[in-house]
């Protein structure tokens, strides 16, 4: 009578194939993940700049018109780590507050901070890179 072997486990070749497949999937996923992470940082930056814009707009509306009481600049630290706006097609600027005073506020790409300030003549608000 012939003995029947009970095969348990995987062969080395099968394990190597599985590891290779996982490595390929990880190699594809990492760039996608980093791109999405950068876009989320940019979304955070835009939300923070919009909040500073709203705060400056409120201060401008309450401003009495004297230079001594001109609203102070607001510095918004940047979260993004790459130059240009990846979420806007690698553009150097993007726009917030469209349709408001100034027909929109142009926000430059920055890697350190943004400065949200009332213009010197008190007619609007501007966003500049705080480099």
**pLDDT on residue 100:** 53
Q: Which of 32, 57, 27, 46 is nearest to 119 (CA)?
A: 57
Secondary structure (DSSP) of 98-113: TTSGGGSEEEE--SSE
- Residues whose CB is less than 8 angstroms from the CB of residue 59 and which lie 6 or more positions away in sequence, other chains included: 71, 118
Could you read off the pLDDT of 6-38 as tens digits, one per residue? 778 889 999 999 999 999 999 999 999 998 999
Say if residue 131's pLDDT is above 90. Answer: no
Q: How far apart, in whole angstroms, are the C-alpha atoms of residue 64 and residue 40?
A: 38
pTM of the model: 0.74
**pLDDT on residue 99:** 55
Could you read off the pLDDT of 71-112 as tens digits, one per residue? 889 999 999 888 888 887 788 888 876 655 555 778 888 878
**pLDDT on residue 29:** 95
**pLDDT on residue 26:** 96
Least confident window among 23-27, 106-110, 118-122, 124-128: 118-122
**CA-to-CA dists, residue 127 to 29, 36, 77, 91, 93, angstroms:** 35, 25, 13, 16, 11
Could you read off the pLDDT of 62-73 as tens digits, one per residue? 888 777 778 889
Q: How far apart, in whole angstroms, are the C-alpha atoms of residue 18 and residue 81?
A: 35
């Amino acid at each position: 009578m012939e003995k029947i072997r009970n095969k348990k486990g995987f062969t080395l070749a099968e394990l190597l194939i599985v590891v290779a497949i996982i490595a390929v999937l990880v190699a594809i996923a990492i760039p996608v993940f980093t791109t999405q992470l950068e876009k989320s940082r940019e979304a955070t930056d835009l939300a923070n700049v919009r909040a500073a814009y709203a705060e400056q707009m409120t201060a401008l509306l309450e401003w009495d018109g004297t230079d001594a009481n001109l609203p102070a600049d607001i510095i918004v630290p940047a979260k993004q780590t790459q130059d240009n706006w990846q979420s806007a097609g690698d553009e150097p600027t993007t726009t917030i507050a469209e349709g408001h005073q100034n027909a929109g506020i142009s926000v430059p790409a920055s890697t350190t901070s943004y400065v949200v300030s009332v213009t010197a003549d008190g007619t609007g608000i501007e966003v500049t890179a705080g480099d």
